[in-house]
Amino acid sequence: MAEARRMPDALAAALAPEGFFRMAAPRALGGPETPPGEMFAVIEALAEIDASAAWCVMIGATTSVLAAYLPAPEAREVFADPLSIATGVYAPMGKAERDGGDYVVSGRWKWNSAGQVSRWLCGGCMIIENGASKRAADGAPAHRMMLFPASEAEFIDTWRTSGLKGTGSGDMAVARIRVPEARSVSLIEDSPRVRAPLYAFPVFGLLSIGIAAVASGNARAALEEFAAAAGAKKLPGGRTLASRGAVQSAYAAAFAETSAARAFLLQEVDTAWRLAQTGGGLDLSQRARVRLAATHLTRAAAHNVRVVHDLAGGASVFLDDPLNRRLADAQTMTAHMMVAPATLELASRAMFGLEVGTGEL
């Protein structure tokens, strides 16, 4: 995947029928409505094999939650086919101008992971009405996600990165395509049309859990790969790298820190899921704790992959070394806005009882 800089069609075709890209789709559409904790476990296991493949699956799986927000005919159109993959970009980098019952959509979006294997795409758009930006109830610019066939988009090959090379997360663009209003979603203003615990769970929380799952699987694999290499690598004098006390201490700390961060997230996911199952919803503090735990795990994982990469010495600087790839992938994940340092401030504001919008969590 790294060489091709995208997910191979054959791999996507093998994963799609097994439901990997539709984990959040409603049961009414043949989806599994996978609980967040189980989704974490699946994505984490994939990331232990290949972080780029897991990232592509994660994007498709979390995008499938949109099926619960669409009217039934449009939900079936996009998500009912088990072979259909939908991915996209939430950030409102496009513009959608209302024209009767449609939107006329133009825009260019960065970070379009797995777009090359997708049948449907979605892109966040600022809403234009009567030549001016529409305002939401809180006075902020209104924006919605527009879903459209991938065949209507142009893919621009901008994905030349150090990490997550195989995700194909380049740009996509459309110019004045028509999207029916019924095939648009606002995750802030709209409510799910499907009543089920999964759709009472915060969507941004679900996305951050998916990112953390990729980070966790990647880090766990890096720790295992280093342990195997350290036991085999001979130092001058015949001792192994694993026999050095400094290496033992650093490895133990990295293992413990990653495991503790993982346990924190799974604890918060379990608590949030039990609340979602009661139908009462999650308050801002609980939403914030999920986001905090996901951010902490993602960033702790990257730090500890760096630790074992450095412990490995000169061998890890080569491009074909597994730890080199693990580190590049780990660092690239931390750039996602869902797990950026600003999330720590956002979570603290909510836990302090300061003003914060549910749309941010």
Q: What's the mean pLDDT in 133-155?
A: 93
Per-residue model confidence as pLDDT tens digits over 316-348: 888 889 999 999 999 999 999 999 999 999 999
Q: Do 174 and 268 fall within a single domain?
A: no
CATH no. for residue 61? 2.40.110.10
Q: Do 124 and 149 fall within a single domain?
A: yes
Per-residue model confidence as pLDDT tens digits over 290-319: 999 999 999 999 999 999 999 998 888 888
d(CA 250, CA 18): 40
Question: HSE-up of 31 (CA within 13 Å, CB side)?
Answer: 32
Per-residue model confidence as pLDDT tens digits over 255-265: 999 999 999 99
* Cα–Cα distances in angstroms (integers) from residue 323 to residues 179, 218, 297, 312, 313, in the given order: 44, 10, 19, 8, 10
Mean of per-residue pLDDT scores for the chain:
95
Looking at the domain assignment, is residue 192 inside a domain? no
d(CA 127, CA 145): 10
Q: In DSSP terms, which residues pair with 156 in a beta bridge?
A: 171
For residue 15, is pLDDT > 80? yes
CATH no. for residue 275? 1.20.140.10
Number of domains within the chain = 2
For residue 122, is pLDDT > 90? yes
Domain boundary residue, one of 161, 185, 209: 185
Domain boundary residue, one of 185, 217, 235: 185
Range of the domain at 271: 201-360
Domain boundary residue, one of 185, 210, 230: 185
Q: What's the mean pLDDT in 226-245?
A: 89
Task: Please say whether the beta carbons of 305 and 290 come within 8 A.
Answer: no
Which residues make Cβ contacts (< 8 Å) with residue 346, sequence separation at least 6? 288, 291, 356, 360, 361
Which of 28-32, 52-56, 125-129, 133-137 is the least confident region? 133-137
How far from the centroid of its chain's Cα atoms is residue 205's Cα? 10
